Amino acid sequence: MATFTSARWWALGALVLSVLVLGLDATILNVALPTLATELRATTGELQWIIDAYMVPFAALMLPAGALGDRFGRKRVLLVGLAAFGVASVLATSAEGTGALIAARALMGAGAALIMPLSMSILPSVFGPEERGRAIAVWSAAMALGLPLGPVVGGYLLDHYWWGSIFLVNIPVVLVSLVAAAVLLPESRGPSGSRLDLPGALLSVAGLAALVYGVIQAPVDGWSDPAVLVSLTSGAVLLAVFVAVERRTAAPMMDLAFFRSRVFLWGAIGATLVSLVMSGLLFVVPQHLQAVLGHDAFGTGVRLIPMVAGLMAGGLAGERLVERLGLRTVMTAGLLLLAAGFAAGATTSTASSYGFAATWLTVVGAGIGLTMVPAMDGVLATLPEERSGSGSATLQTMRQVGGTMGVAALGSLLSAVYAGGLPSGAPAAARDSVTAAVALGDPVLLRAAREAFVSGMDVVILLCGAGSLVVALLVMIFLPGARRKTAKSVHELTSAR
């Protein structure tokens, strides 16, 4: 464990910068899609691929990224990821067509897949158990802060500069992160001589790519579309084969012994549920703030900050409370708080003010922080040092797939309720989205569209609350009640293989 004092907080700053740029990039492109459609003459399908080309490799490559970190050094692989992300940002800035931009976005997603799990796996080598929860709270808040900052920064840049500036903003952040990480972070790795699990890597990448692509395309083409069904089915089959192979491999890329620890299992399930509902929330709430309450992209980003503030407060409180009350009590309380915030949010009407939204968003943010930060701290504590890269990658892959599922499934539900609430004979454009209904300018249609959208949003939020309540009950029943020291069980299970 590192012995330096203030330097470790500077090291955390390097990790914070590395994940802040990921959160920023996850949403900054959304406000630029209309501009890209005009400037690059991008079709709807090309715009979809500009988004998907980032998300698919991001989710698919995290598991092998963790294994590479364990084998070659986590700091080294993190630096490679940052460099790839920076190069991709330069290429995206200078892209002259949609093909070049899609390729740059794919490289950006691959870089992000290296950055996310490796930045998390380095935390245990820098912070001891007494400070790790606080470090995770800051790390998580940085990732979450980037999400609402994306529309803020993107809206400002598009108002004042050309479209490529939304990628140009990544470059100075990446450069600072590279230098800070190279100078401040310690190197760590698994035992020398450990082999790479090539069959596992190929199966996991192919399976996750197919599954995530199917989930992304389902709201666009329909869940019963043949291509979507083939993608989802093949992804599920490949991942099932991957699990079977990993059970028989001497040095697996994803050690299934992780899941024999109830702390790892239920901590990962709790963190994945939080990622799912948070992603769904960040899909529907910005549309509400813009189309129903009338704020622009910049104002929408600013008005999402109360959720981030709640997350930070909940995470810091959770880090302290785990020592006194134990992981089970704190995670259960966080999930119940999350459910309470969603229950309040599900009462939103077209007459509700932003003050009401800010209140329940703050409660939801606090529930997210109180659940996710202790959950990830508990998961990290279960991992043996030599497997922290692959263990972190396993957790982050579950979270990323959960987040993608959240946007796809909850987005589909929102669209169905919204379209069903519109009057018969409503224009096709209005049925596509509430934003399109606003653009049509018909006052009667606009009122109906806003009411239909709020009804759909309430159903989505209520479902998020119900899911949080169910997982809270499961965590309360199955998660061990002991304090931090129980978290050593995965090391014991792994050693007993």
Separation between Cα atoms, residue 414 and residue 430, nearest integer Å: 14
CB 87 within 8 A of CB 107: yes
72 and 110 housed in the same domain: yes
3-state secondary structure of 256: helix
Q: Both ends of the chain: CA-CA distance in Å?
A: 25
330 and 445 housed in the same domain: yes
Of 175, 193, 211, which closes a domain? 193
Residue 23 — very low, low, confident or very high, per pLDDT cuts 50/70/90? confident
225-245 per-position pLDDT tens digit: 999 999 999 999 999 999 999
pLDDT at 15 over 60: yes
Give backbone dihedrals phi and psi of 293, rounded to 5 degrees, phi first: -90, -10
| Strongest mean pLDDT among 93-97, 195-199, 254-258 | 93-97
3-state secondary structure of 126: helix
CB 113 within 8 A of CB 61: yes
The pLDDT, as a whole number, for residue 44 is 61
Instruction: Retrieve residue 248's tokens.
Output: 């028989």
Of 170, 193, 216, which closes a domain? 193
279 and 422 housed in the same domain: yes
**Mean pLDDT across the stretch 407-411?**
85
Closest CA to 169 of 32, 68, 369, 51: 32
Domain that holds residue 210: 198-250
| Strongest mean pLDDT among 119-128, 438-447, 460-469, 488-497 | 460-469
**Higher-scoring residue by pLDDT: 330, 117:** 330
Residue 471 — very low, low, confident or very high, per pLDDT cuts 50/70/90? very high
**Higher-scoring residue by pLDDT: 338, 194:** 338
Of 171, 193, 215, which closes a domain? 193
Residue 4 — very low, low, confident or very high, per pLDDT cuts 50/70/90? very low
Instruction: Retrieve residue 93's tokens.
Output: 């800035």
Identity of residue 435: T
- Helices 6-28 and 98-121: angle between axes, nearest 10 degrees: 150
210 and 176 housed in the same domain: no
Residues in the chain: 497
Distances (CA, A) of 75 to 81, 111, 178, 209: 10, 14, 10, 26
Q: Supply the pTM of this predicted model.
A: 0.84
108-160 per-position pLDDT tens digit: 999 999 998 888 888 887 887 778 878 888 887 787 777 777 777 887 888 78
248-281 per-position pLDDT tens digit: 887 788 888 888 899 999 999 999 999 899 888 8
206 and 270 housed in the same domain: no
Question: What mean pLDDT is reported for the chain?
Answer: 85
Question: Domain tally for the chain?
Answer: 3
Residue 404 — very low, low, confident or very high, per pLDDT cuts 50/70/90? confident
CB 178 within 8 A of CB 18: no
pLDDT at 472 over 80: yes
29 and 133 housed in the same domain: yes
172 and 236 housed in the same domain: no
CATH number at residue 103: 1.20.1250.20
179 and 204 housed in the same domain: no
pLDDT at 164 over 70: yes
Separation between Cα atoms, residue 56 and residue 103, nearest integer Å: 12
User: No. of H helices and E strands in the chain?
Assistant: 23, 0
Lowest mean pLDDT among 125-139, 163-177, 299-313, 479-493: 479-493
CB 169 within 8 A of CB 153: yes
131 and 42 housed in the same domain: yes
Percent of the chain with pLDDT over 90: 35
174 and 210 housed in the same domain: no
Separation between Cα atoms, residue 462 and residue 493, nearest integer Å: 39
Instruction: Retrieve residue 320's tokens.
Output: 């302290």
The pLDDT, as a whole number, for residue 5 is 53
Residue 216 — very low, low, confident or very high, per pLDDT cuts 50/70/90? confident
CB 129 within 8 A of CB 2: no
Separation between Cα atoms, residue 254 and residue 274, nearest integer Å: 22
**Higher-scoring residue by pLDDT: 202, 154:** 202
The pLDDT, as a whole number, for residue 494 is 46
pLDDT at 288 over 50: yes
Residue 315 — very low, low, confident or very high, per pLDDT cuts 50/70/90? confident
The pLDDT, as a whole number, for residue 200 is 86
210 and 266 housed in the same domain: no
Separation between Cα atoms, residue 378 and residue 382, nearest integer Å: 7
**Higher-scoring residue by pLDDT: 129, 303:** 303
3-state secondary structure of 453: helix
265 and 149 housed in the same domain: no
Dihedral Cα 164, 152, 464, 383, nearest 10 deg: 70
Closest CA to 187 of 62, 11, 67: 11
